[in-house]
Amino acid sequence: MTVIDTPIETTRGVRVRGLRRAFGGRVVLDDVDLDIAPGEFVALLGASGSGKSTLLRAVGRLDRQAEGDLRVPEQRAIVFQEHRLLPWSQVWRNITLGLTGPDLRGQALRALTEVGLAARADAWPTTLSGGESQRVALARALVRTPELLLLDEPFGALDALTRLKAQALVARLWSRHRPAVLLVTHDVEEALLLADRALLLAGGKIAQEIIVDIPRPRSLDHLRFASLRRRLLVGLGVDPDLSRAEQTQESP
């Protein structure tokens, strides 16, 4: 089987069946099934090298060698860990790159307003901080009004405080626009703050699914948080008590 390249039947959600990807005979994704309902926020976790980005790239149809039956919305946008802004284009032009139609600058300004950066529309990417660059990358995704938003460790390179702010921004943007989201992350707390469901990838398969039944807006203080965090860490093969002890030792 090969990836279906015809117009998509499932217009808004994701439906993947039997996804398989091997590199040089080494199978990384082995018969993966994945559903994301329209407007649902799904986090994907797993050990380094377990295939999370490979799965995201296949769902984003960036990997034509992935095999399987893969149905995804046509309107998709991806944000990577690196912002991938073109340094020789002003911020607003980066946002509308590849788009056609009237009032592109107006569209860019509206998206920048949503991420709190309208004042930087004419700036050059090299003058932005890491957090600002990621917000521009989010605006570039937003302007495409995606039905599916793919986030590959989008906050992985940010400091802890900027990361918390960026997570809160994504939570707000998601509740306002409600795209289906697939978020690849190493951060258990990020998954619990943002997602409806967390999936653990191991051995080339979705090995575990955890429903994040914490009401929104979410707080790390919620009673359910600790038990869900423990389940996720155990699923990832991390000792939850050791992880907490390490965090305590690291605090100033």
Determine which helix (DSSP H) or strand (DSSP E) holds 27, and give its type and residue range.
strand 26-36
Q: Is 46 near ligand ATP (CB under 6 A)? A: yes
Is the peptide bond between 102 and the residue preceding it cis, with omega within 30 degrees of 0? no
What is the sign, positive or negative, of the torsion defined by CA atoms of 123, 124, 129, 131?
positive
DSSP H or E stretch at residue 47: none
The count of chain residues that interact with ligand ATP, using the rule CB under 6 A, is: 10
Least separation in angstroms between CB 115 and ligand ATP = 25
Beta bridge partners of 14: 36
Q: Is 94 in the site for ligand ATP (CB under 6 A)?
A: no
Please list the residues that pair with 209 across neighbouring strands: 199
Candidates 48-56, 110-118, 133-141, 164-172; binding stretch for ligand ATP (CB under 6 A): 48-56
From CA 97, how far away is CA 2, in angstroms rounded? 30
The rounded distance, in Å, linking the Cα atoms of 24 and 22 is: 6
| In contact, 231 and 210? CB cutoff 8 Å | yes
- Residue of the chain from 8, 32, 52, 180 that contacts ligand ATP (CB under 6 A): 52
Name which of 28 and 112 has its Cβ closer to ligand ATP: 28
Q: Is residue 235 within the footprint of ligand ATP (CB under 6 A)?
A: no
Q: Which C-beta is closer to ligand ATP: that of 49 or that of 87?
A: 49
Contact between 54 and ligand ATP by CB under 6 A: the answer reads: yes
Cα 217 from Cα 240, distance rounded (Å): 25
Using CB under 6 A as the binding rule, whether residue 53 contacts ligand ATP is answered as: yes
Which of the stretches 35-43, 52-60, 139-147, 157-165 binds ligand ATP when contact is defined by CB under 6 A?
52-60
Instruction: State in angstroms the smallest separation of the CB of 27 from ligand ATP.
Output: 10
Give me the DSSP letters along 110-173: HHHHHTT-GGGTTS-GGGS-HHHHHHHHHHHHHTT--SEEEEESTTTTS-HHHHHHHHHHHHHH
Please state the closest distance from residue 151 (CB atom) to ligand ATP, in A. Answer: 13
Which lies closer to ligand ATP via its Cβ, residue 115 or residue 206?
206
Residue 62 or 220 having the CB closest to ligand ATP: 62
51 binds ligand ATP (CB under 6 A): yes
Q: Point out which span in 46-54, 68-76, 84-92, 223-231 binds ligand ATP (CB under 6 A).
A: 46-54
Contact 197, 181 (CB under 8 A): no
Binding mask 12-41 for ligand ATP (x = CB under 6 A): -----------x----x-------------
Q: List interacting residues with ligand ATP (CB under 6 A).
A: 23, 28, 46, 48-54
